[in-house]
Structure 1
Amino acid sequence: MTDRSIDSPVQNRLQQIFGNRTVLCDGAMGTMLYDRGVFINRCYDELNLSQADLVRSVHEDYLQAGAEVIETNTFGANRFRLQRYGFQDQVAEINRAGVRLARKSVEHLQEKQAGKAWVAGAVGPLGIRLEPLGKTSLQEARDAFAEQIRALTEGGPGVGVDLLVIETIVALNEAEQAILAAREVAPDIPIIAMVTVDDDVRCLDGATPETAAARLGQWGADAIGCNCSSGPATVLSALERIAAATGKPLAAMPNAGMPRAVDGRNIYLSSPEYMASFARKFLKGGAQFIGGCCGTTPSHIRAMKSSLRAVESQKVSTQNPVSAPIESETPPPPLAERSKIGKLIAEGTFVTMVEIVPPRGIDARKEIEGARLLAGKGVHIINIPDSPRASARMSAQSLCIQIQQSVGIETLLHYTCRDRNVLSIQSDLLGASSIGLRNILCLTGDPPKLGNYPDATAVFDVDAIGLVNIVRRLNHGLDIGSNPIGASTGFTIAVAANPGVPDIDNEIRRFAFKVEAGAEYAITQPVFDLKILETFLKRIEGFRIPVIAGIWPLTSLRNAEFMRNDLRVSVPDSILLRMQQASTPELARAEGVKIAQEMLAAARPMVQGVQVSAPFGRYPLAAEVMAEVLPSASPAAVPATATETEGAVVGQL
């Protein structure tokens, strides 16, 4: 990765404000004002004076969505653009008002102790052609920029803006005048300068991103990047080329795609989830400042924040020695003494588990009786998914304790990062330990968009790697702030693995991080292809921990297709053909059991245990699959009670 070292006194100021951490910026101001009924023919910058509360409400919406930097509503507040509306003599007044509104919004956030944020002065292009193509001289352009920037920076940081964002640069000669004006008027204020590019990834004056990066840096920009353009994919391409040409911090703030006319209004169609996926790519591409431009809304920024949290937790795990010893006066007991499954794994016993999905209501009698049946067959452990597929169900922790108390069989609690911040995670885990839960499967969790409530807010303060770190610390008697909590929580720490994921290199890399973080055994996604499992096990030989293979008895062709297409589990064509040839539901279920038994028999010599799912609550079916490895199991028929696409699978890992 290109060195991002700070190389000037002004750039030290940028580092003093943000360090080297990722910074989430806000989205579009004009889009939000337009959505709130302001006609497109209005001067949006003048709204700082005439509709101040409206502008401030947009700022506060972005801050509540998680933005750490908000830009003033001054993108077009220069003499040339304001002249079109007759406000050319109010440049200073409009810009000062823009700073005042943004500053009040930030202060309001801090009064609520909801976090810290900074104000950036937005400086857009003048909207005219400069010499030699136009009649406006370079000096006139610099004077116009200086007039605007002087008003934005008046009073210095904390009164004026904290930094400047010179954005949507369409011509490098204009960018030069803007940056030079800023350096003359406010030499200590950091500058983020961003070009905009066309679909060929060239600046609109024909310059390449590499040329732009070199020149913007020479003129005095402290961070360089790309904004606006035709959407995140184009901005990512530009960012990659800029990164190769500069050692300065990078910025990426794309449009939410290209606008489409819908019922007379311009609508940007890139979803929050799509923008969030590119936020991760910007981060991996080296961007420190990430946000949005035209079409992005607080919903986009909120989704981007959740996405960045997950990646940042992984990034921290890769940059810090997660396996470094933890100093503590209360080290955890040996694995064999923590729980039944810990003892079985330590002794080398082949472990048997069955997954029971929590009910959608408050009546868990069916699940408890299923656990009782399985315990009678000799199953070692019942594991309980945590709202699989982001569905609203009884809490996994509640069902775990009910089964342990009613049946006496040990449970494994699936625990996801989707719904909890780091404080809630710690509280939950301390509570789980105090009521006798000893086994945790650490998962990132399925995003809410997959479930019943796609608009629900995701948290993802950490991902599965960060969660393993937290559990490991609790096991050493330390909270997340390294404060002693007394006795060890004594959890056995499990993680998930997906041998059939398309990006297997990334899966192997993350698995290694999980092991470094403290994982003690792993459970795989359902396996239908022995070669895939063999390849995975070979790839992890250097950091192997006990592996328990996931087995799913298919119930129908539809169920097999759902696993393959919706859940992205690797199901070979030969398996689909076998399920297709089953002529009745009964024969299909029997064929599914047979396939699962074959996979178990083939995988058994390679793994330390098996987890069998009980699709649609068919608990005897799970016992039948494990007939050869249980002390007592007999076939039993259970009528279908759910749709063929329901059921739990280890989610986002």
Structure 2
Amino acid sequence: MDLLKTLKERILIGDGAMGTLLYSYGVDRCFEELNLTHEVQIAHVHQAYIDAGADLIQTNTYGANYIKLARYGLEDQVKKINTAAINIAKQVASDHTFVLGTIGGIHGTQTSLGTKEEIKRSFREQLYCLLLGNVDGLILETYYNLDELTTVLEIAREETNLPIIANVSMHEAGILENGIHLSDALQRLEDTGADIVGINCRLGPHHMVESLKNVPLSRNSFLASYPNASLPAYHDGKLIYENEPDYFENCARDFRNEGVRLIGGCCGTTPEHIHALARGVKGLKPLTEKKIIKRPSSIKVKENQVRTETPLLDIVKKRHTVIVELDAPKHLDTTEYMEGVRALKEVGVDAITLADNSLATPRISNLAIATKIKREIGLRPLVHLTCRDRNLIGLQSHLMGLHTLDINEILAITGDPTKIGDFPGATSVFDVTSFDLIKLIKQSNDGLSFSGKSLRQATSFHVGAAFNPNVARLDKAVERLEKKIACGTDYFLTQPIYSPEKIIDLAVATKHIDTPIFVGIMPLTSTKNAEFLHNEVPGIKLTESIRAKMRSASADKEQSVEQGITIAKGLIDVALENFHGIYLITPFMRYDISIRLVEYIQKKVQSKRLGEVLSTARL
């Protein structure tokens, strides 16, 4: 049998969801492992879809790759699992059934699952297993990231002449997460070597049909569609798909009328859905001509609003700049806190930075405090945003709120683990990494949400990122810094540094980098404070010399504070010689200490300017 030749002649029916049926049977584990342990059950699922009218069945290998199997400790079983899956499918398939080797996307929304090189290695391993099993073709499905799909498609096309189906997935009807229109994406897949291009997962039949209305027929590829059964409901801890399978009968005709030659089902679909699809296209010939509905004009994105303040990035490039971290209260009394902010504004700080529940300890929302500072005091807030506490929905909503409130400076960070905070049983989200978050924030500056949907207005965010120079291999830390710059970072805030030599080493290691760096200075208040930071806080290390100085002043509380200020001044002197940005971290709400250091910085800068003027005058 020849799959592509058959598609020229008639519409083919694919199978439905494997996981949905297994889940309904009470299986809640690695579905791909069942190829080794429950061969009969997997065979029954394949047989049920064939009996329902499926012309194509997919091997139970969607997640049978090194990266995804590693979640279950099965990464060394890639070959066994894929080989078993092929054997099961072939034993069930009739002479008129095509067996497609399935390879699912790895990233999805979880972009932290693997680097591009790791994904390529993992894909090749699974690909070779499927090709050795002599499948009738390949289906690459559930790829939200078009770059990931084209990357693996190129590899597959180089290794085989078998038919390849390449399906993208969309968060929004008609558009991919990076803003590319479906028709453009499918054309790119065809150009990369796919024989059948289409869509699967996330959307139900209605939105898939609507998305395909703007997609023209091609002479070089066929269209495929694998919709979900419906939007899922959540009952008793389980996702339930509730639509009637008969609904798919009419939907099958709608897909045919958009030129689709291969129709199957994704999440929530069962043999009843596939039987309905088969009934719907029975006797219908494939569409050979199609009238395209003109793609709706892109919603015009308004330009960035005129900012009422000079961006922090522009300031630090021109002169020495001081920002001060003053974390929001852990309680609801903001009186003392706001007094501290007012005092810091009076001495001329350029911004107040607000951590996002630092050390995984809940505080008043930094968005709320930032708004209060901006409206009541008129001082620029720099809001930290962690990947820990919000999923993609929450992050998108939060960014839209920040823009609406005209808060434009963001520090994108991973976030401290929940285990160290007040609620150690709390769940860390980490839908994205800090690298991804930086990219997504910058995408909103193009007027696009995470899903690729238009925001109808471009944001004007400047994005800072964290940098830890307190490591054994500074060159490796700088490589990480450079990757963040590639993602769109505008400036960096370092972890507190307690070594003049480390500041100088940092200047030398980053001399080739134009992106501004704010050097973190956190005054010590006691020897206990020093020892805690050195021994218990990740990313902070003190020199033995500084620890000894703090121990020498331990007999007197005020003397300890003065010693900490003296140490901070020495570090500031070195930082000012090498960098324009100073990032003061206020200890224990002692904003009086930060005020003294801001005044010290201003005097040092003024003295330096005066010296430069006098030197120029003499010349």
Instruction: Tell me, in whole angstroms, the C-alpha distance in 2 between the residues paired with 1:537 and 1:415.
Output: 27
Instruction: Tell me, in whole angstroms, the C-alpha distance in 1 between the residues paired with 2:18 and 2:531.
Output: 45
| Paired residues of 2:58 and 2:101 also in contact (CA < 8 A) | no
1:361 aligned to 2:331?
yes
Q: Give the match's secondary structure for 2:396.
A: helix
Q: Which residue of 2 aligns with 1:122?
A: 34
1:624 aligned to 2:596?
yes
| Paired residues of 2:79 and 2:126 also in contact (CA < 8 A) | no
Instruction: Tell me, in whole angstroms, the C-alpha distance in 2 between the residues paired with 1:452 and 1:354.
Output: 25
1:341 aligned to 2:262?
no
| Paired residues of 2:519 and 2:579 also in contact (CA < 8 A) | yes
1:591 aligned to 2:563?
yes
The TM-score with structure 1 as length reference comes to 0.52
Offset from partner CA, 1:592-623 (integer Å, 9 cap, x none):
11111100011112111211111111111112
Aligned counterparts, 1:141-220, within 5 A: 150-151=43-44, 153-156=46-49, 163=60, 182=88, 185-186=91-92, 188=99, 220=133
Instruction: Tell me, in whole angstroms, the C-alpha distance in 1 between the residues paired with 2:410 and 2:535.
Output: 29
Q: Give the match's secondary structure for 1:433.
A: helix
Instruction: Tell me, in whole angstroms, the C-alpha distance in 2 between the residues paired with 1:629 and 1:621.
Output: 12
Instruction: Tell me, in whole angstroms, the C-alpha distance in 2 between the residues paired with 1:606 and 1:400.
Output: 30
Shift of 1:366: 1.2
Instruction: Tell me, in whole angstroms, the C-alpha distance in 1 between the residues paired with 2:87 and 2:311.
Output: 70
Instruction: Tell me, in whole angstroms, the C-alpha distance in 2 between the residues paired with 1:452 and 1:612.
Output: 25
Shift of 1:470: 2.1
Instruction: Tell me, in whole angstroms, the C-alpha distance in 2 between the residues paired with 1:519 and 1:169.
Output: 35
Aligned counterparts, 1:71-470, within 5 A: 102-103=23-24, 119-120=31-32, 122-124=34-36, 150-151=43-44, 153-156=46-49, 163=60, 182=88, 185-186=91-92, 188=99, 220=133, 330=302, 332=304, 339=310, 341-346=312-317, 348-470=318-440
Q: Give the match's secondary structure for 2:349.
A: coil
Gaps of 5+ in 1: 1-8, 10-16, 18-67, 71-98, 110-116, 126-144, 193-211, 223-246, 249-326, 634-653
1:608 aligned to 2:580?
yes
| Paired residues of 1:477 and 1:486 also in contact (CA < 8 A) | yes
Offset from partner CA, 1:86-108 (integer Å, 9 cap, x none):
xxxxxxxxxxxxx95524569xx
| Paired residues of 2:503 and 2:574 also in contact (CA < 8 A) | no
* Letter in structure 2 aligned against 1:615: P
Q: Give the match's secondary structure for 2:427.
A: coil
Gaps of 5+ in 2: 5-13, 94-98, 104-124, 136-158, 161-298, 606-619
Q: Which residue of 1 aligns with 2:211?
A: none
Shift of 1:515: 1.3
Q: Give the match's secondary structure for 1:628.
A: helix
Instruction: Tell me, in whole angstroms, the C-alpha distance in 2 between the residues paired with 1:629 and 1:540.
Output: 23
Instruction: Tell me, in whole angstroms, the C-alpha distance in 1 between the residues paired with 2:455 and 2:329.
Output: 34
Instruction: Tell me, in whole angstroms, the C-alpha distance in 2 between the residues paired with 1:537 and 1:221.
Output: 57
* Letter in structure 2 aligned against 1:185: Q
1:501 aligned to 2:422?
no
| Paired residues of 2:60 and 2:85 also in contact (CA < 8 A) | no
* Letter in structure 2 aligned against 1:594: T
Seen in structure 2, the aligned counterparts of structure 1 residues 333 and 501 have a Cα distance that, compared at 3 Å, is: farther
Root-mean-square deviation (CA, aligned residues, Å) is 4.4
| Paired residues of 2:36 and 2:84 also in contact (CA < 8 A) | no
* Letter in structure 2 aligned against 1:122: L
| Paired residues of 2:347 and 2:598 also in contact (CA < 8 A) | no
Seen in structure 2, the aligned counterparts of structure 1 residues 426 and 503 have a Cα distance that, compared at 3 Å, is: farther
* Letter in structure 1 aligned against 2:515: I
* Letter in structure 2 aligned against 1:163: N
Q: Give the match's secondary structure for 1:360.
A: coil
Seen in structure 2, the aligned counterparts of structure 1 residues 396 and 148 have a Cα distance that, compared at 3 Å, is: closer
The number of residue pairs the alignment matches comes to: 390
Offset from partner CA, 1:606-648 (integer Å, 9 cap, x none):
1112111111111111122233223699xxxxxxxxxxxxxxx
Shift of 1:394: 0.5
The TM-score with structure 2 as length reference comes to 0.54
| Paired residues of 1:552 and 1:614 also in contact (CA < 8 A) | yes
Q: Which residue of 2 aligns with 1:76?
A: none
Q: Give the match's secondary structure for 2:464.
A: strand
Instruction: Tell me, in whole angstroms, the C-alpha distance in 1 between the residues paired with 2:513 and 2:399.
Output: 26
Seen in structure 2, the aligned counterparts of structure 1 residues 425 and 387 have a Cα distance that, compared at 3 Å, is: same
* Letter in structure 1 aligned against 2:551: Q
Offset from partner CA, 1:455-498 (integer Å, 9 cap, x none):
21222222222222222222233333444434432222211111
* Letter in structure 1 aligned against 2:412: C
